[in-house]
């Protein structure tokens, strides 16, 4: 099979600030596999968890390295390809892009959407949250109103039912409380409100905030403690009135068992997991441990979030909102319907180019990138 690689830059409508910094735009990597006239598409987005950073350049270089090795391999030889990716130490973002492209190719060859190949029921997909980053209380209120269609911006999305608020403000816990209260004051009609500290609290703060947030009807807390403080999660788990989910502390299925006695759920992200193949492993491993599941994202476009939408009937919570915040998303795919991200009936991912010329055709000369 042929592997083609291209870069594309996307810009956020609202810059996103978390405890570790702010992002206004990202340059992602588009991957296309082709064989027998069938083309499968995948995407990698750069990300940093504090301890680990995967840049656009590193992802692209690793894909260039593996491209010649794939020429004699069929997209159907997924076990062989997975072994090869491990041997060349492909970073998880690059593995995700290639794995998604292989799934897309398979669905197109079979003439079926991925959710149908898995035998899933799209009626079970829950609403996705949209994220309010760390900002001033006044800015947060305006963003909530914009998302709800009551602000000054004409948003293309309607029917938002869930919000996630980023806490862990470096300014301290009082800034966190002010932000959460400001959001709640204008969030009438929101059925689920969660918070994500991105590892910005210590144990004492997390314990106090868990009680305070529970009194205000928050659904769950995501990554309250920094990666590396998993030992403290046990006390938080035992004392918190709210469910505790982890994100940065859990990359793949190998991370789940050590966490199973000290968290209520895990946040699975395509770029951390390294593809839909590992996402499925994580789902089954976590369910066997009695854990709840959510899907999250980084600065992913419609392409990557559509890939995750195909498996969304299997999880409890969704935070697949990054593409909803893009001004220049180059793809069309899963539709937004009453707060839910619903994949379509087209074969494979069901993703197409948003503009007349496809990224793959426009960038065939960038195969060496």
Phi-psi region of 37 (alpha: psi -120 to 50; beta: other; left: phi over 0): left
pTM of the entire predicted model: 0.94
What gap in Å lies between CA 348 and CA 104, rounded to an integer?
A: 4
pLDDT digits (tens, 9 = 90+) for 171-208: 999 999 999 999 999 998 899 999 999 999 999 999 99
What gap in Å lies between CA 42 and CA 242, rounded to an integer?
A: 36
Neighbours of 171 (CB within 10 A): 10
What is the torsional sign of CA 283, 123, 323, 161?
A: negative
pLDDT digits (tens, 9 = 90+) for 107-155: 999 999 999 999 999 999 999 999 999 999 999 999 999 999 998 888 8
What gap in Å lies between CA 321 and CA 323, rounded to an integer?
A: 6
Res. 104: pLDDT tops 90: yes
Token pair 């918190």 in the structure block, residue:
240
User: Helix 302-309 crosses helix 276-288 at what angle (to 10 degrees)?
Assistant: 40
Range list of H helices, 29-110? 56-66, 78-87, 92-110
Q: Which of 156, 87, 94, 170 is nearest to 325 (CA)?
A: 156
What gap in Å lies between CA 197 and CA 72, rounded to an integer?
A: 46
How high does pLDDT run on average in the chain?
94
Neighbours of 20 (CB within 10 A): 16
Res. 225: pLDDT tops 50: yes
Q: Domains of the chain by range and CATH?
A: 2-111+356-366 (3.30.390.10), 117-352 (3.20.20.120)
């Amino acid at each position: 099979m042929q592997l083609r690689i291209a870069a594309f830059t996307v810009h956020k409508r609202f810059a996103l600030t978390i405890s570790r910094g702010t992002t206004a735009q990202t340059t992602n990597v588009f991957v296309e596999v082709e064989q027998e006239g069938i083309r499968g598409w995948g995407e990698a987005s750069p990300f940093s968890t504090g301890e680990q950073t995967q840049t656009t350049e590193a992802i692209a270089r690793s894909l260039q390295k593996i491209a010649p090795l794939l020429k004699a391999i069929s997209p159907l030889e997924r076990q062989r390809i997975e072994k090869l990716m491990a041997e060349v130490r492909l970073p998880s973002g690059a593995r995700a892009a290639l794995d998604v492209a292989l799934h897309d190719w398979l669905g197109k060859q079979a003439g079926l959407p991925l959710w149908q190949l898995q035998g899933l029921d799209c009626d079970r997909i829950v609403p996705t949250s949209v994220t309010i980053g760390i900002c001033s209380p006044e800015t947060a209120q305006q963003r909530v109103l914009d998302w709800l269609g009551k602000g000054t911006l004409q948003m293309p999305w309607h029917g938002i039912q869930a919000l996630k608020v980023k806490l862990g403000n470096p300014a301290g816990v009082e800034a966190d409380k002010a932000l959460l209260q400001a959001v709640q004051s204008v969030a009438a009609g929101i059925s689920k409100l969660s918070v994500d500290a991105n590892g910005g609290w210590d144990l004492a703060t997390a314990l106090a905030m868990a009680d305070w947030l529970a009194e205000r009807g928050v659904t769950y807390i995501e990554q309250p403690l920094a990666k590396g403080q998993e030992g403290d999660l046990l006390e938080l788990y035992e004392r918190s009135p709210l469910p505790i989910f982890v994100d940065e502390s859990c990359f793949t299925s190998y991370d789940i068992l050590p966490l199973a006695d000290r968290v209520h759920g895990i946040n699975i992200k395509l770029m951390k997991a390294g593809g839909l193949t590992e996402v499925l492993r994580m789902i089954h491993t976590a369910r066997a441990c009695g854990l709840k599941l959510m899907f999250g994202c980084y600065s992913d476009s419609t392409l990557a979030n559509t890939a995750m939408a195909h498996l969304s009937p299997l999880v409890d919570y969704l935070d697949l909102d990054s593409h909803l915040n893009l001004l220049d998303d180059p793809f069309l795919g899963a539709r937004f319907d009453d707060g839910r991200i619903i994949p379509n009936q087209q074969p494979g991912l069901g993703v197409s180019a948003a503009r007349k010329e496809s990224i793959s055709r426009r960038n065939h000369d960038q195969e060496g990138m």
